[in-house]
A = this chain, B = another copy of it.
Amino acid sequence: MRPLAATIHVARDQYHLAWDASIAPIHRIQSGEVVAFDLLDASCGQIGTDATVDAIRTLDFSRVDQVNGPIFVEGAEPGDTLQVDILDMRPADWGWTAIIPGFGLLADEFPDPALKVWNLQGGWAEFVPGIRIPLEPFCGEIGLAPGAPGALSTIPPYRHGGNMDTKHLTAGATLYLPIEAPGALYSMGDGHAAQGDGEVCGTAIETPMRATVRLSVLKGLAIPQPQFLTAGPLAPRTNTARYYATDGIAPDLLEAARAAVRHMIDHLARTYGLSRPDAYMLCSVAVDLKVSEVVDAPNWIISAFLPQSIFTTAS
C-alpha cells in the first residue's frame, strides 16, 4: 500500500472523555486535509497484552471510550455536513474482548467478568484452534461536538456521531456527519479489529489503531443523522461461505435481538463445545444481527447470522 501524505498527526495522549464544544481544538485544518490518528484501545491503555480478568474487575469506567481530537475544520458551520473519507485503518498486533458486568445485550444473564486477549498477527484473530476471525478493522467512535452547551458521555452515539460501533466503516468507506458546532470539532477512537453487527456483548476485538482520514466540509447539505457509503461489497473476508442463523421472534425488537443471541449461544455451545461466556464473546466479534421482518404484527424477527467461514475445519 502506498504511504498516505498525512498533513496532521494526532498523538495517542491527545484525547478527551466527553463530547463537548467547549473542549479546545488541538489542530485547525482546511477542508480536505488529511489527519492521522495514533489511538490507544478503548480502555485508554488500562488493558494490555498480559492482562487477566482482574483488569476487567478493576477497570476505571471514567477513563473508557476516550476519543482523540478535537480537530477544528475551517469553514464548517452548523447545518453543514462533514465528509469523512476513511483512508486507512491499521490495528495493533494484539487486541482484547471482554464481558463487562452490567454492560451488553444480555448483561442480566452474564453477571461475571471475562477477558479474551487476541493475537492479531497475520490478518486473523484465532479464537480457539479451528475458529479464526478475519480482521476487518474500523473505529467504533467517530463523531463531532454537539451544538448545545455541555458535556455528553462518549458511551452512546448521537445524531452528530460518536460511539456508532458500525463495522462497515472500514478503509475506503465515506461517512457523512451532521455538523452542529462551528469547526465541526472532529474526534475518533475505539479501534476494533473485527466485530459483528450489534456488538452484542458490548466489546469487539478492541485494539490500538492507526487511523487516517480526510475531512471535508459539504456546504448546503443537511442530513438528519449519520450516513455512509461502504468501501465495496459488505464483509468481503467473511461473506465467503454459508451462514448459520438463529431467529428471535417477539413483539419487541430488543427482546427479539436478545432471543436471537441467546439461541446462537446455545447453538455455539452445543455444536462447538464453547463455554457460554466464550460463545457470547464470539457472537460479539463475529455474528451479525439483521432485522428479518418488522411488519408482520405483532411479531418481529431479528436473526443472528454466524459466518461458517470462521470455522477452518467445518462445513
Question: Which chain A residues have a beta carbon within 8 Å of chain B's beta carbons?
Answer: 103-105, 155-159, 163-168, 197-202, 223-234, 239-249, 252-254, 257, 259, 263, 266-267, 288-303, 305, 308
Contact = CB atoms under 8 A, between A and B. Distances in A.
Contacts of A231: 242
A226 B259 CA distance: 11
Given A239-B233, A242-B232, A294-B257, A299 B249 contact: no
A307 to B, nearest CB: 9
A136 B311 CA distance: 26
Contact of A296 (B157, B226, B296): B157
Given A166-B303, A294-B289, A243 B249 contact: no
A236 to B, nearest CB: 9
State the copy count for this chain: 2
20 contacts: A104-B295, A157-B293, A158-B299, A166-B292, A168-B303, A199-B294, A199-B295, A224-B263, A227-B244, A227-B267, A229-B242, A229-B245, A229-B308, A231-B242, A233-B239, A252-B254, A253-B254, A257-B291, A288-B290, A289-B294
Contacts of A168: 243, 245, 303
B105 A295 contact: yes
Contacts of A158: 249, 299
A161 to B, nearest CB: 9
Contacts of A198: 291-295
